[in-house]
């Protein structure tokens, strides 16, 4: 009974802190712009392929396969975590044992995956500590970012140790005929210890260690780069479904151009009129869509996007990973003040220029290599293009080459400096036999 009461107190505290975090994020999402979604069937298929199947992660076959094993292992172990919560709430043991053969398969798989994940995390920690992986570095990857990764990996390591410890001492402290579930790895470890009811206290220790680590980890994740543990699957479901090369148009501008191209309807009563935007493009966090912000929270900071960016490879300042990290940082900086003081609040800083330089966004070639490579389908170029739109349409601050093109289009109806009448004069110098 005491264990049940303590568990309920811990669970309520965990849910309370987590609910506060989600409410805070909800308030920040309310500051952003709309992003329509639809075609749920296609989205579900994409989620199964990319998120559950981990297909994009296999572009790096060795480390990709190890990462996929960790992900699939977590999916299996999650069932055991759910059972622990049910057990703790109702003061029982092995509440899902009624599943019979399925229970044996699930928990045997979870026991094996615990060992696999334990080995994988040791490899990941060693890789970070001793191998100079280029994509793990960069101006945006501060000491705090690296420390964040080490803390999260260490917690996962302890979760696997506690799970194997819990299973092992369950096996040694219960009569063989009363054991519910199969635990191949833990049974082997139990054989090294021997049987005896005196080991039940160790089982309780590891049980509490595992569940409290889960509670702590769940509340740490939203403040960590490992928030993708929660958000990667839904982020893939919410992927932009248009072809990568298609740039989104502004509805208000599209409607105005259609009216200009069709004078007969220019003055007709509009249907479904689109309100003019408060701002063209993106200057600060309140101008981004909720999906842009969701992308920034989901970003794993793995650096795959930056490692394939041709601008970054050739020494330019652009790092697609930094763009997402800067958006998250800026929202954390300004968002709470906007919530507290209203949308007119300003701290005389902005996402563009103060966090992301003009040089960075104009370095982008919009090749979409970053979006193609991202394992959770973040689309960086759409945000970069929106910041360019702000510079061009609000500040008339396009690079010199683009300004020349705009002037030629305005004067000559084409990007070239020649008028329509003079465009074919070059053919007069050609000699063509009859």
DSSP code string of 56-114: GGGGSHHHHHHHHHHHHHHHHHHHHHHHHHHHHHHT-S-TTGGGTHHHHHHHHHHHHHH
Burial of 131 (0-12, 13-18, 19+ CB in 10 A): exposed
In the chain, where the domains are located: 2-27+54-229, 251-260+276-412
List beta partners, residue 352. 356
| pLDDT score at 2 | 84
DSSP code string of 191-237: HHH---GGGHHHHHHHHHHHHHHHHHHHHHGGGSGGGHHHHHHHHHH
CA–CA distance, 310 with 404 (Å, rounded to integer)? 25
| pLDDT score at 274 | 57
Are 244 and 372 within 8 A, CB to CB?
yes
Q: What is the mean pLDDT of each run of 10 residues along the chain (434 residues)?
A: 90 97 96 92 95 92 93 95 94 90 95 97 93 89 91 96 95 86 93 80 94 96 92 95 87 74 59 65 94 95 94 94 96 95 92 95 95 95 94 87 84 81 79 64
Q: Do 2-27+54-229 and 251-260+276-412 fold alike per CATH?
A: no
Are 26 and 18 within 8 A, CB to CB?
no
- Nearest Cα to Cα of residue 33 among 251, 355, 293, 339: 293
| pLDDT score at 260 | 72
Are 168 and 196 within 8 A, CB to CB?
no
CATH class of the domain whose range is 2-27+54-229: mainly alpha
Q: Dihedral sign for Cα 79, 83, 86, 89, please.
A: negative
CA–CA distance, 135 with 123 (Å, rounded to integer)? 17
Quick one: angle between helices 61-90 and 200-220, nearest 10? 110
Architecture of domain 251-260+276-412: Orthogonal Bundle (1.10)
What Rg, from alpha-carbon coordinates, does the chain have? 28
């Amino acid at each position: 009974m005491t264990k049940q009461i303590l568990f309920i107190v811990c669970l309520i505290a965990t849910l309370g802190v987590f609910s506060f975090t989600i409410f805070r994020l909800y308030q920040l999402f309310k500051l952003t712009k709309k992003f329509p979604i639809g075609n749920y069937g296609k989205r579900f298929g994409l989620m199964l392929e990319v998120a559950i199947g981990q297909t994009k992660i296999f572009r790096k076959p060795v480390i990709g396969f190890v990462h996929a094993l960790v992900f699939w292992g977590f999916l299996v172990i999650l069932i055991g975590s759910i059972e622990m919560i049910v057990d703790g709430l109702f003061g029982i043991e092995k509440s899902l044992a009624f599943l019979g053969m399925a229970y044996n398969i699930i928990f045997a798989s979870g026991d094996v995956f615990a060992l696999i994940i334990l080995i994988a995390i040791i490899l990941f920690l060693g890789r970070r500590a001793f191998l100079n992986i280029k994509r793990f570095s960069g101006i945006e990857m501060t000491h705090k970012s690296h420390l964040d990764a080490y803390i999260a990996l260490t917690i996962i390591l302890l979760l696997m140790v506690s799970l194997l410890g819990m299973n092992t001492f369950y096996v040694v402290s219960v009569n063989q005929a009363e054991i519910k579930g199969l635990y191949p790895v833990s049974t082997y470890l139990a054989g090294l210890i021997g049987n005896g009811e005196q080991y039940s206290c160790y089982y309780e220790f590891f049980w509490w260690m595992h569940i409290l680590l889960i509670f702590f980890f769940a509340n740490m994740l939203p403040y960590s780069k490992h928030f993708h543990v929660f958000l990667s699957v839904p982020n893939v479901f919410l992927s932009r479904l248009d072809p990568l090369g298609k740039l989104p148009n502004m509805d208000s501008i599209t409607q105005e151009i259609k009216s200009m191209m069709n004078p007969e309807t220019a003055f007709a009563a509009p249907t479904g009129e689109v309100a003019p935007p408060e701002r063209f493009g993106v200057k600060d966090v309140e101008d981004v869509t909720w999906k842009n912000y969701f992308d920034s929270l989901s970003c794993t900071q793995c650096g795959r996007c930056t490692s394939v960016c041709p601008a970054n490879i050739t020494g330019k300042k652009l790092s697609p990973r930094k763009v997402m990290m800067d958006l998250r940082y800026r929202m954390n900086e300004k968002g709470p003040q906007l919530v507290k003081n209203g949308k007119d609040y300003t701290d005389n800083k902005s996402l563009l220029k103060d966090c992301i330089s003009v040089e960075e966004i104009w370095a982008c070639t919009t090749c979409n290599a970053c979006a193609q490579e991202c394992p959770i389908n973040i689309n960086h170029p759409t945000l970069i293009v929106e910041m360019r739109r702000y510079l061009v349409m609000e500040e008339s601050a396009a690079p010199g080459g683009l300004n020349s093109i705009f002037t030629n289009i305005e004067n000559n109806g084409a990007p070239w400096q020649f008028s329509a009448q003079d465009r074919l004069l070059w053919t007069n110098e050609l000699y063509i036999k009859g």
